[in-house]
Amino acid sequence: MILKNILITGGAGFIGSHLVGRLLGEGGWHVTVIDDFNDFYDPGLKRCNLRPYLESDGFRLVEADIRDRAALNRLFEESAFDVIVHLAARAGVRPSLIEPLLYSETNITGTLNLLELARQREIRQFVFGSSSSVYGENEKVPFNEDDPIFKPISPYAATKVAGELLCHTYSHLYGIRCVCLRFFTVYGARQRPDLAIHKFARLISDGKPIPIFGDGTTRRDYTYIDDLIAGLRAAIGYTGSSYEIINLGESRTVELREVVSLLESELGVNAVINRQPLQPGDVPQTYADIGKARRLLGYNPQTDIVEGVRHFVEWFKDNDSTEMK
């Protein structure tokens, strides 16, 4: 089997570490992860994500920041990559309102650094992790890739729009195939502790109030990690066109209060609700049209929210330790 060299930025994170496991499990891949292990959340959790793979043949971990061009240059001089999967980013809508410059430097400049190295090194496959947040307060549902995205409502969303546009520019000018994947509220084992399902599970388990912004009727298209990884894996091998934007969601919207109810049921504990005002930058709903993903990637999500929350809680109970808090 021909060994394929792939770079996964942000590969120690929730989505990235699952992709690492998928590729190493397939065999035939040489996987390099670059991650800066920043303090957005406990870097020890990210190190735990990669622990099963550290001794694997064909795996390499590089600790560096995608804003550091010198470090990136050294990495690309040492290795010849066939594919870049760019998942590294400062994530989260609300934190981006506090540190917009940091989000711009990481998510825009960091993406440009990688695209420029792809151009210089003639790397022809670039997969970019975008976000459903680019749709903003889109009243048309479900969200389609052709919908206008000119009114993002958070710095985070704006940086993801910028990343997609940079990908288009480099695809058009330099022949780099760029596949931009808009992720819709991904959850599952190893989910970031700041995200709703993980955060709520911990607070409910500890008997602490969970913050509900608004009346609990905000809706999200919750996408189980295994389904997301199947779509991401297909995008790595996509060759149908030079540039695409593709939604990866579950194609069903779920109210926040339903998610809380499912968590209560699986944990066997009633939640204490702390109602708070709606937050600036939050959108009322997300809802993915996944027809394009079905056509181009053979994408076919299998896990609905009931089963997905059950799987998450099973993982949560097995990993609920002092180390994870």
Sign of CA dihedral 196, 198, 204, 208: negative
Sign of CA dihedral 9, 13, 19, 21: positive
Q: What is the SS3 assignment for 127?
A: strand
From 4, 21, 238, 229, select the one nearest 127 (Cα to Cα): 238
- Residue 41 is classified by DSSP as S
Strands 219-220 and 254-255: antiparallel
Length of the chain counted residue by residue: 325
What is the residue-wise DSSP string for 203-256?
A: HHHTT-EEEEESSS--EE--EEHHHHHHHHHHHHT--S-SEEEEEES-S--EEH
List Cβ neighbours of 82 (8 Å cut-off, separation of 6 or more).
4, 5, 6, 123, 124, 125
Which residues have a catalytic role annotated? 156
